[in-house]
Chain A
Amino acid sequence: MIADGSPVGLHARQPKAIHSALTVLEEVARCGAGVTARQISDNLALPRATAYRLLNVLVQDEYLVRMPDLRGFALGRKVVELANLVAPPAARPPEAVRAILDRLRGGIRGGIHLVRYEHDGLRVIDPDPDFPPSDRSVILARLEASAMGRLLVYERSRGAAPASVEAATTPASRATPGAAPTGHAGSRPRPFGEIAASGYASQIDGVTDGYGCIAIPIRDRAGHLVAGLCLCAPRERIERPDELVAMLQRGAEELAPLLA
């Protein structure tokens, strides 16, 4: 498409405009859904025309959406994408969680990392100090390459699946078809369907040659993916995973109530 993919040219006047746009986003967040253009312009003491133009630009880019009455504004889902890019480093997990991880690290040779899944993204909240994980940008750039990324891709497709399919795969989870915008996503084959059968994700050579990893999902009571316990090790150990998976799954069961 001509306009969609064109590189964004930044001009000298734009930093001010970006500042104003972020201020407007902040104001919508502060006032809550339904705030009108006039209220925003009054609250921020912005000239009317400027406020309206900024709001319309933010609506065009889908950071904001208009409420069905056309007067009010609400935050669009796209602000989450923005937030995932610039979010501050996560706080360290609680002491009880770290104790379990230390015990696992003592018993299994390889890098053991704890991953948090939130806001439609992932973040390593406790990396193994002896075997640091790959850079976050590498993992986020190709989610389907890493085991922890595969869990997220699978979870997203689950969110978009119709209730009946989901109920069949995870009986414990509540039906959550809310994320399906069109209702026909379920007809597509779901990526990494083997995760449903085995209960974990794994990959070999996907990120680093000669190495592989396993990711065990940790779910809350409603069945949503909240965290993942990952093991990275040389490929020959990942190729015979049964004993390792059993150990990791016991650890994941202990971690679940602390993280969910």
Chain B
Amino acid sequence: MTALERAIRHPEPVLGFADRSPVDGLDRRSVGFADVLAQSVSAVAPAAAATTIPLLIASAGGSPVWALASGMLIALLVASTVNQFTKRIAATGSLYTFVSRGLGRTASFVTGVALLVGYGFISMFALAGAGYYLQILLGDLWPASASTPLSAGVLIAVMAVVCAVVLARGIRVSTRVTLLVESVSVVIILVLVGALLYRNGPTVNWSVLSLAGTTPTTFAVGAALALTAFVGFESASTLGVEARRPFANIPRAIFRTVIVAGLLYLVASFSQVVGFAALGRGLSTSTSPVNDLAAAYGIGGLGLLLDVSIAASFLACAIASITALVRVLFSMGREGLLPSALGRTHDRYRTPFVAVVISVPVLTLSVVVTIALAGSVWRAMEILIVGAAGGYITAYTLACIAAPVFLHRIGELTVWSALRAAAAAVLLSVVLVVYLVSESTTDRYAGVWVFLAVMTVGIVFYLVRHLRRPWLRHAVGIYDVPVGADVLGAVNGFGTMNGHTVGETDAVRRGGKAAAGS
């Protein structure tokens, strides 16, 4: 009889598995690959980014296609490094939990704050963006309706209510809604791109791809801006508990999100550059390039469709980003780092209900205040996106530093994974510095200061909280562990083994109790 057969016939009692995971209460192992992919893709909001980021890069003096290609390369490096964690840890705290397993709690606090800033600011950005484009739509449909910051505020509040309901009703509802919305908007973008390239005719002027006139600085700024088009791809990792087969589905979803979004960006930016070159204009002379192109090529009717798709993409992005945000808050609530109420789940819907009910009004109020202070919705969005990008890239950098340390700790470090993580960490650090410095010289400088201020306040809050509660040192970084039912021969607190009474001595049973109770 082989060892495997023996183990199956007479499972050795395995101690140390509890009946319930520390993140119990969520709808464990309930969503499949499509839902996990939807979470990441929606958080990236490729349709909205494909129409806005090429313009931003061109305005900064970079070459959109090349910048987006190098942004995609960095994003792939980061994704493969983050996946070293997602293949091994199923958590709701995403990078915050991962970094705690590599670099310890102080670095994980910084990551946690950065991640909350990233998810929080991008949610606010997306809510504001959805309101902005809905307002344009309403203005087109009923020219009489006044577009004031007040009406935008009302629209944003309505959409925040929609987000809260979808989020509270269960993870399947929110991922399905975002999947549908995001797919529709990507299809609309692809239709537009196809129409543009078709109208442009078979002769493509490849010289638009030349890098002449690009300096290393403008290239770096372009790459940094391009990376902001990808941020959010890691958010599938907040579904570590709720995903089925998380160690397979989450890494796959993260990787494919970068690929799908990257290809869409390359095609979209190429068609925009080619389209403007054929018109004899520069991309940066336009304020709304895809709308202008559509009008110039006689398909202006599609402009309306485009506004619908961007508004939808923003709404999906808001839902996905808040989904990720509340799960990080849930993790911190369970650990005691934040009030424990945030770690409570809804009995029936099995979602982090309290975190949703608290965070959605806070985010909505912050958006409205930001719009009031900035004077217009667009200005507010510019400030928010800078803060979000700063938060994400900071968190990615720390995760890439933490990955090799973590792998070394569990004895699974290999040369290639270390090299990829090191390359990603170096590139991300460069991108972060270049991005913040270059943004601080533009009229979006307020975003840089808001980001730095929020990060500082957040980190001080965590350090004070931690000084008052020294026991948190052992609580930080919870993740889903296999429960007894997943393990062949696991002994739980009842002294039973996978439903069969353990026939062994009392010592085994006591050992099981001790292990389950610890």
CB of A29 closer than 8 Å to a CB of B: yes
Shortest distance from the beta carbon of B480 to any chain A beta carbon, whole Å: 10
Residue B501 contacts which of A36, A176, A183 (CB distance < 8 angstroms)? A176
Q: Contact mask B471-498 → A, CB, 8 Å, 1/0?
A: 0000000000111111111101010111
Contact A29 B249 (CB under 8 A): no
Contact A181 B14 (CB under 8 A): no
Give the most central of B9, B14, B252, B499: most A CB within 10 Å. Answer: B499
Those of A13-65 within 8 Å (CB) of chain B? 22, 25-27, 29-30, 32-33, 36-38, 48-49, 52, 56, 59-62, 65
Contact A56 B247 (CB under 8 A): yes
Asked if A52 meets B412 with Cβ closer than 8 Å, knowing A70-B101, A79-B8, the reply is yes
Contact B501 A3 (CB under 8 A): no
Those of B490-518 within 8 Å (CB) of chain A? 490, 492, 494, 496-501
Contact A62 B5 (CB under 8 A): no
Residues of A within 8 A of B410 (CB): 36-37, 70-71
Contact B4 A1 (CB under 8 A): no
Name the interface size band of chain A: 35 or more
CB of A177 closer than 8 Å to a CB of B: yes
Contact B3 A26 (CB under 8 A): yes
Residues of A within 8 A of B20 (CB): 183
Residues of A within 8 A of B497 (CB): 178
Contact B496 A176 (CB under 8 A): yes
Task: State A75–B2 Cα separation when bound (angstroms).
Answer: 14
Residues of A within 8 A of B16 (CB): 67-68
CB of A179 closer than 8 Å to a CB of B: yes
Contact B482 A65 (CB under 8 A): yes
Contact B484 A178 (CB under 8 A): yes
Q: Contact mask B1-35 → A, CB, 8 Å, 1/0?
A: 01111111101101011011000000010001110
Contact B488 A178 (CB under 8 A): no
Chain A residue nearest to B101 (CB atoms) is A70
Asked if A77 meets B412 with Cβ closer than 8 Å, knowing A56-B87, A178-B498, A224-B500, the reply is no
CB of A108 closer than 8 Å to a CB of B: no
Residues of A within 8 A of B17 (CB): 68
CB of B88 closer than 8 Å to a CB of A: yes
Contact B487 A77 (CB under 8 A): yes
Contact B499 A159 (CB under 8 A): yes
Residues of A within 8 A of B500 (CB): 176, 224
Give the most central of B4, B34, B490: most A CB within 10 Å. Answer: B4
Contact A222 B501 (CB under 8 A): yes
Contact A37 B411 (CB under 8 A): yes
Asked if A60 meets B87 with Cβ closer than 8 Å, knowing A2-B34, A4-B32, the reply is yes
Shortest distance from the beta carbon of A44 to any chain B beta carbon, whole Å: 13
Name the interface size band of chain B: 35 or more
Those of A207-260 within 8 Å (CB) of chain B? 222, 224
Residue B499 contacts which of A76, A80, A178 (CB distance < 8 angstroms)? A178
CB of B416 closer than 8 Å to a CB of A: yes
CB of A198 closer than 8 Å to a CB of B: no
CB of A142 closer than 8 Å to a CB of B: no
Residues of B within 8 A of A60 (CB): 87, 245, 247-248
Residues of A within 8 A of B482 (CB): 65-66, 68, 76
Chain A residue nearest to B18 (CB atoms) is A68
Residues of B within 8 A of A59 (CB): 87-88, 247
Task: State A50–B9 Cα separation when bound (angstroms).
Answer: 29
Residues of A within 8 A of B488 (CB): 74-77, 79-80
CB of B244 closer than 8 Å to a CB of A: yes
Contact A119 B9 (CB under 8 A): yes
CB of B414 closer than 8 Å to a CB of A: yes
Asked if A33 meets B8 with Cβ closer than 8 Å, knowing A62-B245, A77-B485, the reply is no
Task: State A191–B7 Cα separation when bound (angstroms).
Answer: 31
Contact A178 B8 (CB under 8 A): no
Shortest distance from the beta carbon of A37 to any chain B beta carbon, whole Å: 5
CB of B231 closer than 8 Å to a CB of A: no
Task: State A52–B409 Cα separation when bound (angstroms).
Answer: 14
Chain B residue nearest to A30 (CB atoms) is B3
Give the most central of B32, B248, B416, B492: most A CB within 10 Å. Answer: B248
Residue B19 contacts which of A3, A77, A79, A178 (CB distance < 8 angstroms)? A178
Asked if A75 meets B32 with Cβ closer than 8 Å, knowing A30-B3, A59-B87, the reply is no
Residue B88 contacts which of A66, A159, A222 (CB distance < 8 angstroms)? A66
Task: State A119–B498 Cα separation when bound (angstroms).
Answer: 10
Residue A179 contacts which of B34, B244, B499 (CB distance < 8 angstroms)? B499
Task: State A222–B252 Cα separation when bound (angstroms).
Answer: 45
CB of A8 closer than 8 Å to a CB of B: no
Residue A181 contacts which of B12, B88, B247, B483 (CB distance < 8 angstroms)? B483
Shortest distance from the beta carbon of A56 to any chain B beta carbon, whole Å: 5
CB of B89 closer than 8 Å to a CB of A: yes
Chain A residue nearest to B496 (CB atoms) is A178
Task: State A178–B17 Cα separation when bound (angstroms).
Answer: 11
Chain B residue nearest to A220 (CB atoms) is B501
CB of A182 closer than 8 Å to a CB of B: yes
Residues of A within 8 A of B19 (CB): 178
Residues of B within 8 A of A37 (CB): 410-412
Those of A165-219 within 8 Å (CB) of chain B? 174-183
Task: State A79–B2 Cα separation when bound (angstroms).
Answer: 14
Shortest distance from the beta carbon of B229 to any chain A beta carbon, whole Å: 24
Task: State A182–B319 Cα separation when bound (angstroms).
Answer: 27
CB of B113 closer than 8 Å to a CB of A: no
Residues of B within 8 A of A61 (CB): 245, 248
Residue A29 contacts which of B3, B32, B414, B484 (CB distance < 8 angstroms)? B3
CB of B124 closer than 8 Å to a CB of A: no
Q: Contact mask A89-118 → B, CB, 8 Å, 1/0?
A: 000000000000000000000000000000
Task: State A67–B16 Cα separation when bound (angstroms).
Answer: 8
Task: State A37–B484 Cα separation when bound (angstroms).
Answer: 21
Shortest distance from the beta carbon of B506 to any chain A beta carbon, whole Å: 14
Those of B401-415 within 8 Å (CB) of chain A? 409-412, 414
Asked if A38 meets B499 with Cβ closer than 8 Å, knowing A79-B4, A181-B485, the reply is no
Task: State A25–B488 Cα separation when bound (angstroms).
Answer: 13
12 A-B pairs whose Cβ atoms sit less than 8 Å apart in the complex:
A4-B244, A30-B3, A33-B12, A33-B487, A59-B88, A60-B87, A75-B7, A77-B488, A83-B8, A179-B498, A179-B499, A224-B501
Name the 5 nearest CB pairs between A and B, nearest first.
Answer: A179-B499, A1-B32, A60-B248, A30-B3, A178-B496
